[in-house]
Chain A
């Protein structure tokens, strides 16, 4: 395996037991908006304690996939399950194991940080006292304890994202979905969020599905799913995907994979 991709730090997570139930299983999922087909027979798994990057350009179908996993849209065909719980058949059991950070901001800007967290906790049926304790702890972890009572409106973009991640962890999910969480953030905020999420994978064993179109957010130890025009073009450990594409790095591999689909003769 030759993978001289830009490596910042080697974070090779141990391969999970293949017999285990995957954190997320997408099985033959297709979705159409009227005549427009957004997803075509998409299948892949996210293992617990792994970082899976869902790589695709805008319009590849990433957000549609997220809407299906979170039950915002009904599943037209195929099956989505979270730790073995079918999202269509037992949504309650599936959703309680899931934390989500959506691409658009979904915080109440006029409420305080704590109020936002307490509201989310209530939606998960977490008692007020327990919720207050967890909120304080999570705010501490993201370094925003001193802002607990401020309005969310007064936070920076990076702080809001950190708060959204904290919120997504409040009910202690074992699978975390993030839809392009670093879009619009500066370099420092981006690096903070990426390292925070990677820490969750290694320290708490959370399975992460990270949708992005930014190649430099992916590292050699990650699992990679390349989604293009609603189809999965490649999946597996990043180094393997890169090697199989005959490329030197993710960037080139992606261009080769997708270029072959869009431009005859391929090329990047």
Chain B
């Protein structure tokens, strides 16, 4: 080894390098989000349509008894608000996964994946970035909903934050896991039909589960087993300064499982590698 080109000793990565990488990824995701105004608008319009139209129409049909965490009779609008917050995150998680499929087809994903930092960490940063974007959307929704008389206790806006971060991570990692299995962009319509709609409707987002149980016990069990139900309940309780421990446990466990699955699927020696060359092979 006589020349300048001897092998360098491995030096690893410092904590500040990890931090720089994390902030860089979140910053870029935020910039991209700001550049996509249509995405922001549609992310807001979707839950507002449910709130303004669907909830108003359903108000008379569905009586809500007093159930925790609520201490009085509430309007239907108030009931579905947490479900709509979770819906925003569900769509955002799936949309991030869509953008990962798009990035992979277009090559942007490569920029991320050739970073020397560990791939699991990169994907975790990407998840955090997606979650941060969903928080912006949820708080914008809460702001508009406030004018619509959905007024949780003001401390609730703060206590709901950790719940939103956790549910955002869960739904984001689910999206990432799904995206690793999607070969092409076109398949995303399938995700809408087979993931988003069933998850949303078979949950406590639109109707309390005791109501579901009256109608169909089987559907009730399905709703109970749906991680989305627990995301909704976690948010609902946190918005009123309470913790739903079962939901917290389910959401945390699902987050870990989905995240490990997504990181596993994006491991170069497994997931992506099994597939053919991305895009055109040259």
Contact = CB atoms under 8 A, between A and B. Distances in A.
Contacts of B28: 108, 111, 115, 119, 122
Contacts of B63: none
Interface string A123-162: 1111110000000000000000000000000000000000
B21 A110 contact: no
Contact of B21 (A22, A95, A102, A122): A122
B272 A73 contact: yes
A94 B116 CA distance: 8
A19 B1 contact: yes
Contact of A95 (B17, B115, B277): B115
B281 A63 contact: yes
B116 A92 contact: yes
Nearest to A48: B5
A222 interface: no
Contact of A83 (B7, B273, B277): B7
Interface in B182-225: none
Nearest to B115: A123
B114 A127 contact: no
Contact of A21 (B7, B108, B119): B7
Interface stretch (B83-91, B228-236, B262-270): B262-270
Contacts of A119: 24-25, 27-28, 111
A37 interface: no
A74 B20 contact: no
A104 to B, nearest CB: 4
Interface string B100-138: 000000111011111111110010000000000000000
B20 A125 contact: yes
Contacts of B273: 73-74, 76
A21 B9 CA distance: 13
Contact of A93 (B10, B16, B36): B10
Given A123-B24, A127-B20, A106 B7 contact: no
B222 to A, nearest CB: 37
Nearest to A96: B116
A76 B8 CA distance: 26
Given A106-B108, A111-B28, A111-B32, A93 B116 contact: yes
Given A71-B114, A72-B113, A179-B282, A92 B24 contact: no
A70 B110 CA distance: 9
B268 A21 contact: no
Given A71-B268, A92-B116, A128 B20 contact: yes
Contacts of A103: 282
A17 B3 contact: yes
A179 B277 CA distance: 14
A238 interface: no
A179 to B, nearest CB: 7
B31 A115 contact: yes
Contacts of A48: 4-5
Which 10 A-B pairs give the minimum distances between C-beta atoms? Answer: A122-B24, A125-B17, A74-B269, A84-B7, A104-B107, A95-B116, A123-B115, A96-B116, A20-B3, A74-B273
18 contacts: A22-B5, A23-B5, A34-B276, A62-B282, A64-B281, A67-B277, A70-B110, A71-B113, A72-B268, A85-B7, A106-B111, A108-B32, A110-B35, A115-B28, A124-B17, A125-B13, A126-B20, A174-B5
